[in-house]
Amino acid sequence: MDRDEVMEDLKKKLCIKKIFKNEPMSKHTSFRVGGPADIMVIPETVEEIRTLLSCIKENKYPFFIMGNGSNLLVKDKGIRAIVIKILDNFNNISVNDDIIEAETGILLSKLSNVAMRNGLSGLEFASGIPGTLGGAIVMNAGAYGGQISDVLLETEYIDLEGQIKILEMEKHDFGYRKSYFNNGSYIVLRARLKLVKCDREQINKKMQILNAQRTEKQPLSFPSAGSIFKRPEGHFTGKLIQDAGLRGFTIGGAQVSEKHTGFIINKGGATAKDIIDMIQCIKQKVRDKSGVELETEVRIVGED
Ligand SMILES: Cc1cc2nc3c(=O)[nH]c(=O)nc-3n(C[C@H](O)[C@H](O)[C@H](O)COP(=O)(O)OP(=O)(O)OC[C@H]3O[C@@H](n4cnc5c(N)ncnc54)[C@H](O)[C@@H]3O)c2cc1C
């Protein structure tokens, strides 16, 4: 089936209002770049996700899952797939003693605030990360010495057959910015997190300190995807890039941030190609200068 036939099939089977054709991904990524997704679906219930997956399987159409798009670089010709966006429709959260259970579309800022208000410590590191819980689990997001794998008990996910499964913590294959869910075959639906009881004010203070550090050090007023590269062992990425003479270096609308050289920012009108060229250029210059091989942390998807 071609894209239009798949679209018709989806419209028939799903009573969702939010099915879009040729949806510009630049509207859905924190970099504010990216060409159109063939189809974007924003489901509202798990049942809709199940029906959607069954259509995908039947039509053998590729799919791509996203959360808040804060770790994605979508290429300029866009994505030849159905993009499934898991965001604020999957926002439910409950707290029971020191356990939080949440759906994965919840933003980390909201999740860590709920934890704080309930006197639960362990998510302070996450309060300034602009992604969802789902994206954080897939990426094993972390900052300031904490990472999501430190607090995760188990996740619930759905596979292409529509089966809901539970994955225990030790089976997540967590590593530095990677997990069992890396290959994009499963939609993570909810997670249970175990936190530590602590004084509310103390948690709040820690969150404020960490967020003040972010505001001071990171170029938050420009679109970006955060740190573009993983931190190579024994080095600081920002310093390697600075030592290669690249602070403020510009290609088209993409620039190595003057404020934090580990970030590439969209100064205005950047294309994905500008950013990808910049990534290649940084890798080359850092390799030449320091002999270190940088690896991208941001997920690059779509067609050139
Ligand atoms: C200013 C800024 C600061 C940042 N700071 C940090 C930081 O300190 N630490 C850090 O680790 N990251 C940081 N990031 C990167 C990013 O916010 C995190 O990686 C975040 O966890 C991504 O979540 P997301 O919902 O935006 O995921 P997306 O970018 O939408 O997706 C990321 C990956 O997760 C997959 N995915 C998302 N949701 C699901 C789901 N429900 N089921 C299955 N797969 C899913 C996608 O397919 C993709 O592979 C920063 C980004 C920005 C813009």
pTM score, two decimals?
0.97
**Catalytic: 227?**
yes
Cα–Cα dist 34/29, whole Å = 8
Q: Which two tokens stand for residue 293?
A: 């091989």
Bridge partner list, 96:
99
pLDDT mean over 281-286:
98
Helical axes 3-13 vs 46-59, angle rounded to 10°: 150
> Which stretch of 8-22, 139-153, 199-213 has the lowest confidence by average pLDDT?
8-22
Cα–Cα dist 18/73, whole Å = 23
Q: How close is the Cα of 298 to the center of ligand 1, in Å?
A: 8
> Which stretch of 53-57, 76-80, 149-153, 163-167 has the lowest confidence by average pLDDT?
53-57
**Atom in ligand 1 nearest the alpha carbon of residue 30:** 53
pLDDT mean over 37-56:
95
Q: Where in the chain is the domain with CATH 3.30.465.10?
A: 93-216
Cα–Cα dist 117/78, whole Å = 40
pLDDT mean over 24-41:
98
Q: Where in the chain is the domain with CATH 3.30.43.10?
A: 3-85
Cα angle 228, 219, 87; round to 5:
65
Smallest CA separation from ligand 1 atom 4, residue: 226
Contacts of residue 264, Cβ cutoff 8 Å, sequence gap at least 6: 224, 225, 228, 254, 255, 256, 257, 275, 278, 279, 282
Model confidence at 304, in pLDDT bands (50, 70, 90)? confident
**Catalytic: 170?**
no
Distances from the Cα of 284 to the Cα of 134, 181, 261, 265, 299, angstroms: 33, 30, 15, 19, 19
pLDDT in tens, 103-115: 999 999 999 999 9
Q: Is the CB of 129 under 6 A from ligand 1?
A: yes
Question: Contact, 283 vs 294, CB < 8 A?
Answer: yes
Q: Which two tokens stand for residue 63?
A: 């799919």
Q: How close is the Cα of 225 to the center of ligand 1, in Å?
A: 8
- The topology (CATH level 3) of 219-301 is 3.90.78
What percentage of residues in the chain have a pLDDT greater than 90? 93
Helix (H, G, I), strand (E, B) or coil at 90: coil
Model confidence at 13, in pLDDT bands (50, 70, 90)? confident
**Catalytic: 154?**
no
Which of 74, 83, 64 shows the shortest CA–CA distance to 298? 74
Helix (H, G, I), strand (E, B) or coil at 60: coil
- The topology (CATH level 3) of 93-216 is 3.30.465
Q: Is the CB of 188 under 6 A from ligand 1?
A: yes
Q: How close is the Cα of 230 to the center of ligand 1, in Å?
A: 13
Q: Is the CB of 299 under 6 A from ligand 1?
A: yes
Q: Where in the chain is the domain with CATH 3.90.78.10?
A: 219-301
Q: How far is CA 121 from the centre of its chain?
A: 23
DSSP secondary structure string, 254-298?
EEE-SS-TTBEEE-SS--HHHHHHHHHHHHHHHHHHH-----B-S
- The topology (CATH level 3) of 3-85 is 3.30.43
Instruction: Output the pLDDT for position 72.
Output: 98
Q: In what order do the strands lie in the sheet with 187-194?
A: 93-96, 99-103, 187-194, 152-158, 164-168
Q: Is the CB of 223 under 6 A from ligand 1?
A: no
